[in-house]
Each structure stands twice: as structure tokens, then as C-alpha cells.
Amino acid sequence: MSERAAILVTRKLPEAVEARLKRDYRVHLNPEDVLYPARKLLALSRNADAILACHTEHFDAEVIAQLPERVRAIANFSVGVDHVDLEAARARGLIVTNTPDVLADATAEVAILLMLGAARRASEGERLVRSGEWNSWSPAFMVGTQMTGKRLGILGMGRVGQVTARRARGFDMRIHYHNRQRLPAELEAGATFHESVEDLLPHCDFLAVHCPSTPETQDLINAKRLALLPDGAILVNVARGNVVDEHALITALASGRLRAAGLDVYKNEPDILPALRAVTNTFLLPHIGSATRETRDAMGFRALDNLDAIFSGAEPGDRVA
């Protein structure tokens, strides 16, 4: 491995990850965890051989064109790479990697949490308890929706979708899914495959969005497709915010057409639409799908494994560009 390559780290990382970075590289850390604007990011990259970035930094074609020639790679601390213009990176000869596999369990846990929280009106209930407004009980009080035995539609049956399906089977849920390609029978595990999103949606008492953000999936779940869900369906999203048309979602929630939604990701986060915050039949989390100690350490080590490969002259295992 090239001796003491210089790495620009854009956000504060777990202690164990930063310790390994400092051991093996010359490293510029971000202990205050500030979000670097593009101009600052470019200035700091002048002394870097690679950038260890998160999804909070945006490497569009303009930014990539201005990166110093010495920058060989962007090693992402994320599985999603929609924040990087991969075509521009390839054209420049810039290596781009991500961190797949290691966050599937944690993110699937949050998908189940969102389903339960939305279905059982957890946010409404907690507000009542914390505000002191809870003062009685009756058979009609805080009645929600039961998950057990319901149909779960999974949009995007990749690593996280498959783990979500396995966890949901613990609730005796019947799994339906749409994916770019049908899974082999052993991975499908009895789930019902649908050739199109439109074919899937009428079979979803719950819909879990797990597909990646691409130009083709932006606003994939729009007003027309939301109307295909059964009345009273519940939607959860742990993928990327721009897969769901939030204005259409708000309309469906406010009308009662959708019973509830559980969201961990949003368009333009953390600047969430005020109307979305105002809708009460939601369970909202601040993008914490991978936020466990175990997973964040594993993501960091995976990113470092990719950097180690790059600077030793080997092919990184998680190269996407």
C-alpha cells in the first residue's frame, strides 16, 4: 500500500474508524462534523489523494471537474451513490466505491420500526403521553392497524428488501415484491413476484420502499401510483426521499386514502416540507436507517478496505465507477 496517502474525511466518523485512518494514512478529519459547501470541499481536497465522503456531499459533474488531479478516489461511507455523478467520475478516471451489505440488517430493522410506528400510531401516542393530554382509556381510543397477517409489498428486493421480508415473515406477513429482475427461488422464499410496480401496488396493505435513487426512480411513487394502493394502506420509505412524490403523499395522507406513512428519508433533507411535518398520521425519523454502532463501524471499515485496495494497487471490492 502506498505509504501514508492523504485522505480527506468529510464528516465525523466512529472512533474506531478514525483510529484506523490515523494509523494508516495522513488524514484530515472533521471533528466538528460541519457540512462542507462545495467551495470548502474543493479547497480541502487540494492536499488529498482520496476523499472519504458521505451522502451529504454532492459530487456533481461541475465539482468532479474541479477536483485536483491528485485525487484518485471517492470512497463513500454509504451504499447509495446518487450524490455522485458516476458518468463524470468515469470520464475523469476517478474511482468511486460504496459500502454494500453491512447496513442491511440495521436498515431493515428501521423499516419494521416504521411499519409498526405508523400502523400503531406511535407518534400520536407519544405526544399524548409527553404533553400530559392522555387522561382516559376506552375501546375506541388510539385504534391502529395490525401488521400480523397482512400483505407487505416490497419495492426493490435487494439486500435490505430481502432482510425486511425475512423480518416481516415473523409477523406472518405475506410478501409481494417488484424488482428489476426476479429473484432465484431460494431467495424469493415464497414471495410473489410482480412484473411491474403497477401490478404490485394493489396487493399491498403495507408498501416498503427499498429501491435505489436513480433518474428512473425519482417520484416513482406518485399520485397515480398511490391511487393503486388499497384504501387504508401504509407506506414506509427507508431508501431515498426523492423516490416518493411528497406532495402526492401529503394529499393521500390528509384525505385518509393512505392510513399512515413511516418515513426515514426525505427530499431536501433535513429541510422537510412543513406540510409533511403537520400531517399527524405519520411516523417520522431523521434518516437513522444505518445508525447503530455495529453498522457504522462496519461501514467505515468497508470504506477503508476499499481505500487500502486502491493504494496497494488492487481492485477495490465495492467499486461502482
Q: Degrees (nearest 5) of the Cα angle 217, 238, 252?
A: 70
Query: For residue 119, what are the CA distances in angstroms to 45, 263, 287?
Result: 46, 12, 19
Q: DSSP secondary structure string, 161-183?
A: HHHHHHHHHTTTPEEEEE-SSPP
What is each CA distance from 159 to 57, 80, 140, 200, in whole angstroms? 24, 12, 39, 19
**Cα–Cα distance for residue pair 66/198, rounded to 1 Å:** 42
Q: Which residues are annotated as catalytic?
A: 240, 269, 287
Whether a cis peptide bond, with omega within 30° of 0, leads into 270 is yes
* DSSP category for residue 213: P
Residues 99, 79: Cα–Cα separation, whole Å: 5
292, 106 Cβ separation under 8 angstroms: yes
CA distance 48 to 68: 8
